[in-house]
Amino acid sequence: MTIPMNEEPKRLTPTGQTLRELFLKSGNLCSFPNCGQVMMNHDGVFVGEVCHIEAAEKGGERFNEAMTNEERRQAANLMLMCGTHHKITNDVLKYPVWKLKAIKSEHEARFASPDRAMLEGLRDWTQASQYSIPRNLGRFVASSTYQYEQNEIQDMLQELADHIATFRLIPLQLREFFSFVVERAHRMRNTAVVRKWGWSGTAILTSDIEAAFRLSPHAVAQRVNQLEQYGILSLTEIDTDMGEQHGIGINSLQSGWPLWNDLAEFCEKMGSRLAIFAIDMDFGQLDD
């Protein structure tokens, strides 16, 4: 490599073509081994970080004076990682150049080879899903009109932790559908399509879900049946002015806590989507 005369090391932004190449080869996953963190979330927002193997500027990790500025911004010197693993790999003793290049090569090979990509599809991705467990429910309690006692909060924390242990095993596509159902039921709670169900739960007409999301009765029933096995939705009957109709019940927890109805209300107050819990499983957002 030849360094131009008087070239001062400076950070150059990777080209659009380079970024597209990195993203395609990443499989939308952090390059760090066994990390399941996506680089672009369900809202289409890039949440990953573009990381240099050999730093863009002097003083950076693994800076190589023999490289040109242009070479430093090439795909061969870049990899996509989540923020946590970007920081971890700043340890140059544990992660020298050769090791990061090996990590990059191994990760990108997974998605460059069709047969390997197919085998990756057999992985149980629920085991790689990241989630957080709340410690105090401070924000949740503060947003509620109900005055919780400290012993109640401790019981809720334990029950929620137990629920998360099962919920995190539900495949992403089913959690997405579940999120849509709960949000729809909350949005329509003051209409005739939603009724009180059981002691503390709610149910929504199956026909409303079919129409709202343009799904066939079979597709809805199939998903609800699957989620019924995890104990979070149930097929039921709703008494209406036109007689009994099929409905989808949103199950409360064993104590009677209508958790997901409460989370939908919490999200409405906070101006956020239920996806932060149902998809991202970031239950730590309930803490202060």
Single out the residue of 176, 128, 151, 156 nearest to residue 254, CA to CA.
156
Residue 152 and residue 254 share a domain: yes
Question: How much is the average pLDDT of 39-52?
Answer: 90
Residue 151 and residue 88 share a domain: no
Residue 81 and residue 30 share a domain: yes
Domains in the chain: how many in total? 2
* The two three-digit tokens of residue 45, written as one number: 């927002």
* Residue ending a domain, choose from 94, 123, 152: 123
* Residue ending a domain, choose from 69, 95, 123: 123
SS3 86: helix
For residue 210, being part of any structural domain is answered with: yes
Residue 149 and residue 45 share a domain: no
**DSSP β-bridge partners for residue 240:** 243
Residue 189 and residue 162 share a domain: yes
For residue 99, being part of any structural domain is answered with: yes
Residue-level pLDDT at 243: 85
Question: What does the alpha-carbon distance between residue 125 and residue 103 come to, in Å, rounded to a whole number?
Answer: 20
Burial of 98 (0-12, 13-18, 19+ CB in 10 A): exposed
What mean pLDDT is reported for the chain? Answer: 89
Residue 74 and residue 40 share a domain: yes
Kindly give, in sequence order, each residue whose CB lies less than 8 Å from that of residue 206, ignoring residues fewer than 6 positions away: 217, 220, 221, 224, 235, 245, 246, 247, 248
For residue 5, being part of any structural domain is answered with: no
* Residue ending a domain, choose from 80, 97, 123: 123
Residue 276 and residue 144 share a domain: yes
Residue 71 sits in which domain range?
A: 16-123
Residue 113 and residue 181 share a domain: no
For residue 1, being part of any structural domain is answered with: no
Residue 94 and residue 166 share a domain: no
Summarize pLDDT for 97-156 with one digit per residue, the tens: 999 999 999 888 877 765 555 555 555 656 667 889 999 999 999 999 889 999 999 999
Residue 269 and residue 142 share a domain: yes
**Contact criterion met (CB below 8 Å) for 216 and 210:** yes
Residue-level pLDDT at 274: 92
Question: What does the alpha-carbon distance between residue 240 and residue 80 come to, in Å, rounded to a whole number?
Answer: 53
Residue 196 and residue 112 share a domain: no
pTM for the model stands at 0.58
Question: What does the alpha-carbon distance between residue 72 and residue 63 come to, in Å, rounded to a whole number?
Answer: 9
* The two three-digit tokens of residue 238, written as one number: 């709703």
The answer on pLDDT for 84 being more than 60 is: yes
Residue 112 and residue 152 share a domain: no
Summarize pLDDT for 210-243 with one digit per residue, the tens: 999 999 999 999 999 999 999 999 999 998 888 8
**Contact criterion met (CB below 8 Å) for 201 and 250:** yes
User: Dihedral through CA 6, CA 12, CA 18, CA 22, nearest 10?
Assistant: 120
DSSP state of 40: B
Summarize pLDDT for 235-268 with one digit per residue, the tens: 999 988 888 899 999 999 999 999 999 999 999 9
